[in-house]
């Protein structure tokens, strides 16, 4: 048949024109879903003002937020990047253990509580970022702190 080498072209046939030079560069977050899920509450704890700013900008510029909120978006990404970098610097082992566990368990948070507690402790000790789930019913332990996770496959105490 043809002598053409069979290659996938979806990775090469993409528009790679960079943004115009007057828009500042920003390093993308570059993390996949499991690390992001693992670090999400720390990102939320540190970057809430920036996140809220960005979402408010998007709401106020409905329909044009993509172009008008670039500045806020850069701040959001820089802040999240700083969180990931700090977690990597101080708690790399715990972080890695937790997100590999998430990856292995269909990203179900309740399967990885022991690893999560270790990560949370390390992050709180080093970065003073705490995982808090808002709107937990009063008088109840937050679900990520319960020693018995009734849906977990491997139920071993703390």
Partner 1 sequence: MPQDLPPAGGYEPIQYKRNLPARGFRPSLVLLGVAGIMTYGFWKVGKGIREQNELAREKMWSRIHLIPLLTAEEDRDLVRRHFADQAREKELLGSSTSPYNSDRFVRPTYAVTPSKASN
For the record, the structure tokens of 129 come out as 């970022």
| Site track for partner 1 across 23-62, x = CB under 8 A | ---x-xx------xx--xx-xx--xx-xx--xx--x----
Cβ 111 to partner 1, closest distance in Å?
A: 11
Q: Are 23 and 70 in contact (CB under 8 A)?
A: yes
138 or 150: whose CB is closer to partner 1?
Answer: 150
Query: Of residues 62-101, which lie at the interface with partner 1 (CB under 8 A)?
Result: 63-67, 69-70, 72-74, 76-77, 80
Among the listed residues 1, 4, 5, 15, the single contact to partner 1 using CB under 8 A: 15
52 or 104: whose CB is closer to partner 1?
Answer: 52
Burial 97-133 (b: 16+ CB within 10 A, else e): bbbebbbebeeebebbbbbbbbbbebbeeebebebee
Degrees to nearest 5, angle at CA 129 with 127 and 115: 90
70 or 127: whose CB is closer to partner 1?
Answer: 70
Total residues at interface with partner 1 (CB under 8 A): 51
Residue 134: phi and psi, rounded to 5, are -65, 160
Q: Are 87 and 127 in contact (CB under 8 A)?
A: yes
How far is Cα 43 from Cα 69, in angstroms, rounded to an integer?
19
How far is Cα 87 from Cα 43, in angstroms, rounded to an integer?
10
- Interface with partner 1 includes 145 (CB under 8 A)? no
- Return residues touching partner 1 (CB under 8 A): 9, 12-20, 26, 28-29, 36-37, 40-41, 43-44, 47-48, 50-51, 54-55, 58, 63-67, 69-70, 72-74, 76-77, 80, 109-110, 133-136, 140, 142-144, 150-151
């Amino acid at each position: 048949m043809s002598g053409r080498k069979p290659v996938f072209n979806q990775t090469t046939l993409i528009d790679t024109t960079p943004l115009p030079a007057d828009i500042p560069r920003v390093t993308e977050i570059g993390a996949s879903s499991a690390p992001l899920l693992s670090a999400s509450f720390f990102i939320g704890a540190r970057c809430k003002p920036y996140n809220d700013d960005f979402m408010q900008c998007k709401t106020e510029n409905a329909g044009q937020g993509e172009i008008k909120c670039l500045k806020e978006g850069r701040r959001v990404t820089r802040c999240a990047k700083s969180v990931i970098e700090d977690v990597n610097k101080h708690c790399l082992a715990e972080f890695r253990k937790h997100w590999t566990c998430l990856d292995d368990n269909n990203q179900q948070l309740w399967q990885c509580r022991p690893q999560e507690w270790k990560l949370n402790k390390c992050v709180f000790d080093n970065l003073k970022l705490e995982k808090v789930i808002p709107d937990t019913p009063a008088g109840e332990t937050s679900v990520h702190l319960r020693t018995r996770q009734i849906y977990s496959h491997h139920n071993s105490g703390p």
